[in-house]
Amino acid sequence: MKPLSGLKVLDFSTLLPGPYATMLMADLGAEIVRVESPTRDDLVRNMRPQIDGQSAAFRYLNRGKESIALDLKHPESAQVIYKLLEEFDIVLEQFRPGVMARLGLGYEQLKAVKPDLIYCSVTGFGQSGDYADRAGHDLNFLALSGVASHMGRASQGPCPLGVQVADIASGSHPAVIAMLAAVIRRDRQGVGSQIDISMTDNSLALQALLAPGALNGGEQPTYESHFLNGGGFYDYYRTQDDRYLAVGSLEPQFKQRLLETLGATELACLDDMTLKLRLQAIFITEPLEVWQQRFANVDACVEPVLTIAEAADHPVFTSREMIQQGESGELQVASALRFDQQVTPLAKSAPLRGENTDTLLTRAGLAESEISKLRDAGVFG
């Protein structure tokens, strides 16, 4: 039995923050039911490449889940949700503040039906405050929280990242933490919870090493101004073949091994920025493969910058079985959460939109005639 077996979540989210959060929970055994619009597609479903009619990204984010299609604007949809709620623990939603309430599905409305409900809202700017109703994306949240002010190069300014830090690290992860904390609270105190996750708030909170100093008289961090953001030799270095090495040799013992491996121990007395320039002059003289071989057995925090395909074949991941094959033969990143030294097998493939509607409603106690009536009324689209 997986750790979250028996926990049930109604997931009203799309795109990335909510689906990633519920994927983590599904991997741990929770039952996740996606409540999907019958007419408005989750944009991630239509990305490329496609596998069996859904994108590889969608199949990853929504593995192990079920799907019910409901037109939430239909007046009878709320009654269907109220019926489903009888057996569910958590509602996760990602609409702008007030949208769920206008649909009859706000926290107070659902709490009246299920007093111990755990209700988690993930938004860009939270449920209150001056920006609560404002639109935004990952890039905007990082900009407003100060993260982008020191994430880039002095010569170029901020740089967009390929990983959505605000969406996942400031949205998905704190949402999972808060939902599971609320489950513990409910089990101990018998009460539900309303959870407000602001991705901008959590992006500000992520800056654990820089924000405290900046708020208390220290200098404001900017590009390449700190030893962890390129203001020292802790950095990426271009090689002869236009690839890169990551050099993280901060501690004295690692720095010593770095310089010994390069045959450049005389550089130990240089200040960090001068050392950085000298290291770049050395690394540019050979291709990445040469440096990989030279540092392969040296414990100095020096590693190649790999592509995703290269990473998938690297021993650091193959030895941990982090790439697994899905039902249709596609490769997926496995769950990185492990219990009892066991590799978590991949869950079943992501559902098609509305694939489990009849089954879920039947399980909730609706008769076939009631389901047919709802279908004829257009509740399912």
Amino acid (one-letter) located at 90? I
CA distance 44 to 49: 11
CA distance 8 to 79: 19
Out of 116, 137, 196, 226, pick the active-site residue.
137
Amino acid (one-letter) located at 22? T
Cβ atoms of 58 and 350 closer than 8 Å: yes
* Other beta carbons within 10 Å of 22: 28
Q: Extract long-range pairs of 361-365: CB within 8 Å, 24+ residues apart.
A: 361/68, 361/80, 361/83, 361/84, 363/87, 364/83, 364/84, 364/86, 364/87, 365/83, 365/86
271 classed as catalytic: no
92: its two tokens: 């996760």
Cβ atoms of 202 and 171 closer than 8 Å: yes
- Burial degree of 162 (CB within 10 A; 0-12, 13-18, 19+): exposed
DSSP letter string, 12-53 = ---TTHHHHHHHHHHHTT-EEEEEE-SSS--GGGG-SSEETT
Helix (H) or strand (E) holding 244: strand 244-247
Cβ atoms of 338 and 344 closer than 8 Å: yes
Q: Which residues fall within 8 angstroms of residue 84, CB to CB, at 6 or more apart?
A: 10, 33, 68, 360, 361, 364
167 classed as catalytic: yes
CA distance 357 to 371: 9
Out of 11, 167, 201, 235, pick the active-site residue.
167
Cβ atoms of 255 and 292 closer than 8 Å: no
CA distance 62 to 45: 10
CA distance 194 to 181: 12
CA 65 to chain centre: 17
Which residue numbers are catalytic? 137, 167
